[in-house]
Amino acid sequence: MKISARNQIKGTVTNVKDGAVNAQVTVDIGGGNTVVSSITLESVKNLGIAVGKEVTVIVKASDVMLGA
Amino acid sequence: MKISARNQIKGTVTNVKDGAVNAQVTVDIGGGNTVVSSITLESVKNLGIAVGKEVTVIVKASDVMLGA
Amino acid sequence: MKISARNQIKGTVTNVKDGAVNAQVTVDIGGGNTVVSSITLESVKNLGIAVGKEVTVIVKASDVMLGA
Amino acid sequence: MKISARNQIKGTVTNVKDGAVNAQVTVDIGGGNTVVSSITLESVKNLGIAVGKEVTVIVKASDVMLGA
Amino acid sequence: MKISARNQIKGTVTNVKDGAVNAQVTVDIGGGNTVVSSITLESVKNLGIAVGKEVTVIVKASDVMLGA
Amino acid sequence: MKISARNQIKGTVTNVKDGAVNAQVTVDIGGGNTVVSSITLESVKNLGIAVGKEVTVIVKASDVMLGA
């Protein structure tokens, strides 16, 4: 399935930190950059998210702010 | 000013495409990755966004989805 | 690719209304309900969105409010 | 009060799952579709959300992605 | 209808600026503060938004960032 | 750093309520209005958020709905 979100960047999971309902997943996207994603524990299970897994980071363009 | 958003990645503007109210700004964040941001034309002016300018891409962790 | 967003509902495109940068896409999800999505014209092209096409409506649980 | 959000769909609460701060509320919107909403426990109380209650699911068009 | 969003502040519309698909509506919320909202032109019509009209500004807590 | 988000309102923290992963921060923005923000505990620490601290409330125009 292709998705309408403009930003889709491949990376590798380096950390999964479980909370009560959500997990914070850290993804290394190369170039010295990491991205932190907050998703539900159910999604972590459904997608088989674990350290070392290759994932795609997905962000809509309207959710990206700029600072300068 | 420091911001509460978890993801703040430095990059360089490579393209600015003006619409009626919003602009689509493309930012090279290194590692072969680019990020597209949709912000208002007023913000483009206020922040002096232009090709070659160094900016910070800002995204909340709750706005980052994962695909796998 | 599986996506972490909790809400993924199948439907059929019934209308595509182009703006300057974005399009408003109406999707019939059955049960007498339609959903309106605002996505970029580029995404409309990339995904081949057109009237009659079967698509999946994707919404994060944290983007769903309730009224009562 | 009328709301500016484009998507407002009526349904019936079928499940409420409490977390530490947020609850996950499942709403049957008919046509075999359910929608999951993540709202605060305080909102659950304020709105009297409980299984069987009729509610309106509210989502902005810009928060709806499409997959195809 | 009561809404689950945590922030609901009353104010008066002071400006409506139409774009191609969206309008930018400025609302005076008192205390010297104004809030800018981007909503569809259809919502502007449906809600009868015009200068001088009393409205409620609605924002989810998860959409509020802090700077310090 | 200047930010592209259209709404940036100064205020004073009046309450910080810690959850498992997130905190709910209440900010008095004057004019009898308060705003509730949900941010991560890590951001609370990083920004030194505490009762009495002056902060800036940041919200994108596209995250502001109107009721009327």
CATH number of D7-60: 2.40.50.100
CA atoms within 13 Å, Cβ hemisphere of B45: 6
Q: What is the pLDDT of residues F8-30, one digit of tens each?
A: 999 999 999 988 778 899 999 99
Name residue B33's beta-bridge partners: B30
Residue of D nearest to F24 (CA): D21
In terms of CA atoms, which chain E residue is nearest residue B5? E65
In chain F, domain spans: 7-59
Residue of D nearest to A4 (CA): D66
Q: Which residues in chain C have their CB less than 8 angstroms from residue A5's CB?
A: 43
Interchain CB contact of D1 with E (< 8 Å): yes
Q: What is the ipTM of this complex?
A: 0.90
Instruction: Determine the residue of chain D that is closest to E60 in CA distance.
Output: D39
Q: Which residues of F touch A26 (CB under 8 A)?
A: none
CATH of E7-59, picked from 2.40.50.100, 2.70.70.10, 2.40.170.20, 1.10.10.10, is 2.40.50.100
Percent of chain D with pLDDT over 70: 100
The strand pairing partners of F16, in sequence order, are F25
Per residue in E7-43, pLDDT (tens digit) is 999 999 999 998 877 889 999 999 999 999 999 888 9
CA distance A43 to A4: 20
Q: What is the CATH number of domain C7-58?
A: 2.40.50.100
Chain B, residues 18-57, CB within 8 A of chain C, namely 19-20, 22, 24, 38
Chain A to chain C, count of Cβ pairs less than 8 Å apart? 34
Residue F39 · residue F22 · CB < 8 Å: yes
Closest residue to F68, CB basis, from E3, E5, E55 = E55
In this complex, the chains that touch B, judged by 3 or more CB pairs closer than 8 A, are: A, C, E, F
Report CB contact under 8 Å: F40, B58. no
The pLDDT tens digits along chain C (68 residues) read: 899 999 999 999 999 998 877 889 999 999 999 999 999 888 999 999 999 999 999 999 999 999 99
Verify whether the Cβ–Cβ distance B3 to E66 is below 8 Å. yes
Whether F50 and F16 have beta carbons less than 8 Å apart is answered as: yes
Which of B1, B20, B40 lies at the smallest CB-CB distance from E67?
A: B1
pLDDT in the model for residue B21: 77
Confidence bin at D50 (pLDDT 50/70/90): very high
Percentage of residues in chain D with pLDDT exceeding 90? Answer: 84
Mutate to test the interface with C, among E1, E4, E21 (most CBs of C within 10 A): E21
In angstroms, the Cα distances linking D36 to B49, C15, D24, E42 are 38, 25, 7, 27
Indicate whether D9 pLDDT > 80.
yes
Phi first, then psi: what are they for D9, rounded to 5°? -120, 130
* CA-CA-CA-CA torsion sign (D12, C6, D59, D49): positive
